Amino acid sequence: MTTFEDLDPGTPIAIPTRPDEARIARRERIRLLIRSPTFILGNLIVGFWVVCAVFGTLIAPHDPQADDILNKLVAPSGDHPFGTDRLGRDVLSRVIVGAREILIMAPLATILGTVVGTAIGLVAGYFRGLVDEVIMRIVDAVLVVPLIITALLAVVALGPSRITLILVIGIVFSIIIAKTVRAAVLGERELDYVQAARLRNERAPYIMFAEILPNIMPPIIVEFTARLGFAIFALATLAFLGFGADPSIPDWGKDIAEHYQFISADVWWAVLFPSLAIASLVIGINLIADAVSQSFER
């Protein structure tokens, strides 16, 4: 396991056969990537929310938790640009501070899923045979049920907590990613460099993690960015459904659920702004994911 964690996707890993060529190709790809408009726009959006997550309470004009019952459900105005919610709390401040929870949980779940999924996919694709068959049958069985329903079942069984949410999303993602990685490994395992490593009598873990893994990083990176957006999707949805980890902190999905009943009374601001926050964050991540996958396709 440690061997794999040492391999940061960002560090250049020389492909043994022709290191210079590979490095030039990679530099060219990164140069094109950081110039692509979708990548820039996506990073601006996500960067904005990361700043909100890190410095939330410092930027927010009001205390996001301070009740002010006399000024509840006030429409957007100078003092409260996004209005106030059902307890008189400032919606703008809650939107800003609400970025934190989801921007901590989603990457953790995605990293867990990517690390475990890559390991499972490598083992299944490299060893083939019975191991592969058993793993793929379990993968198929889990994929039959939508993630949200699997998560509901797990949260009900274990009780909502941060650990439960990260574990459930991470495990389901690992299964999806395992499928992608396995397919990539099947394409690599018959290639000369793998055969050569086998003839050198290298041990299987070395061949999997040090030889094959660096060559299948592109689909793994693409999966990671795409899954990150989906982790935010899932966490926001669970919070909206009332299965968030911590009901006491500002959370976009939960705030929307609590104010949904008021929209028929034309109190639109308490749901519209958190909705736009979620939409912009997932679209931002998706733009990055799209640019990254395009850059590998070239």
Partner 1 sequence: MAAPERRIGAIGRFLLKRLGLAAISLFLLSVLVFFAAQVLPGNVARRILGPFADQAAVEALNEELGTDQPLLTQYWDWISGVLTGDLGESLAYGVPVSDLIGDALLNSLKLAAFAFVMVVPLAILGGVVAALKRDRLTDRVITIGGLSFSTVPEFVTGILLILVFGLWLGWFPVSANAPEGSSFLTELKYLFLPALTLVILLFGYIARITRAGTIESLDADYTRTAFLKGLPRRTVIRRHVLRNSLLPTIAVVSTQTAYLIGGLVVIETLFNYPGMGRLIFTAANQKDFPLLQSGVLVIGIVVLVATLLADLLYSLLNPRIRFATAE
Residue 147 token pair:
């993630």
H/E stretch holding 65: none
Tell the smallest beta-carbon distance from residue 234 to partner 1 (Å): 8
Closest CA to 259 of 89, 70, 29: 89
Region from 1-9, 25-33, 68-76, 270-278 binding partner 1, contact rule CB under 8 A: 270-278
* Listed residue (109, 121, 133) closest to 209, CA to CA: 121
Among the residue ranges 57-65, 157-165, 190-198, 215-223, the one whose residues contact partner 1 (CB under 8 A): 157-165
Stretch that binds partner 1, among 95-103, 108-116, 178-186, 279-287 (CB under 8 A): 279-287
The yes or no reply on residue 229 touching partner 1 (CB under 8 A) is yes
- In the complex with partner 1, the residue whose CB is nearer, 51 or 276, is 276
Looking at beta carbons only, is 99 or 208 nearer to partner 1?
A: 99
Using CB atoms within 10 A of its CB, is residue 232 exposed (0-12), middle (13-18) or buried (19+)?
buried
CA–CA dist 121, 212 (Å, integer): 11
**Least distance (Å) between residue 190 CB and partner 1:** 21
Q: Which of 138, 128, 222 is nearest to 183 (CA)?
A: 128
Measured in whole angstroms, the distance separating CA 295 from the mean position of its chain's CA atoms is: 19
Rule CB under 8 A: choose which of 116, 122, 147, 207 binds partner 1.
147
Smallest separation (angstroms) from partner 1 to the CB of 13: 29
In this chain, which of 155, 166, 181, 184 binds partner 1, going by CB under 8 A? 155
Residues in 87-146 at the binding interface with partner 1, rule: CB under 8 A: 137-138, 140-146
Which of 172, 265, 190, 177 lies closest to 226, judged by CA?
177
* Short-list 173, 180, 192, CA closest to 216: 180
* 173: contact with partner 1 by CB under 8 A: no
Of positions 1, 44, 66, 156, contacts partner 1 by CB under 8 A = 156
Give the one residue of 13, 50, 148, 196 binding partner 1; rule: CB under 8 A.
148
Residue 152 binding partner 1, by CB under 8 A: yes
Q: Which of 14, 25, 34, 158 binds partner 1 (CB under 8 A)?
A: 158
Per CB under 8 A, 32 contacts partner 1:
no
Nearest alpha-carbon partner for 180 in 137, 135, 233, 117: 117
Does residue number 262 form part of the binding site for partner 1 (CB under 8 A)?
no
Contacts of 264 (CB under 8 A, 6+ apart): none
Closest CA to 234 of 292, 167, 180, 296: 167
Helix segments in 60-161, DSSP class H: 91-97, 99-127, 129-143, 147-158
287 binds partner 1 (CB under 8 A): yes
Positions in the binding site for partner 1 (CB under 8 A): 38, 137-138, 140-150, 152-159, 229-230, 233, 236-237, 240-243, 253, 256, 260, 263-264, 266, 268, 271-272, 275, 278-279, 282-283, 285-287, 290
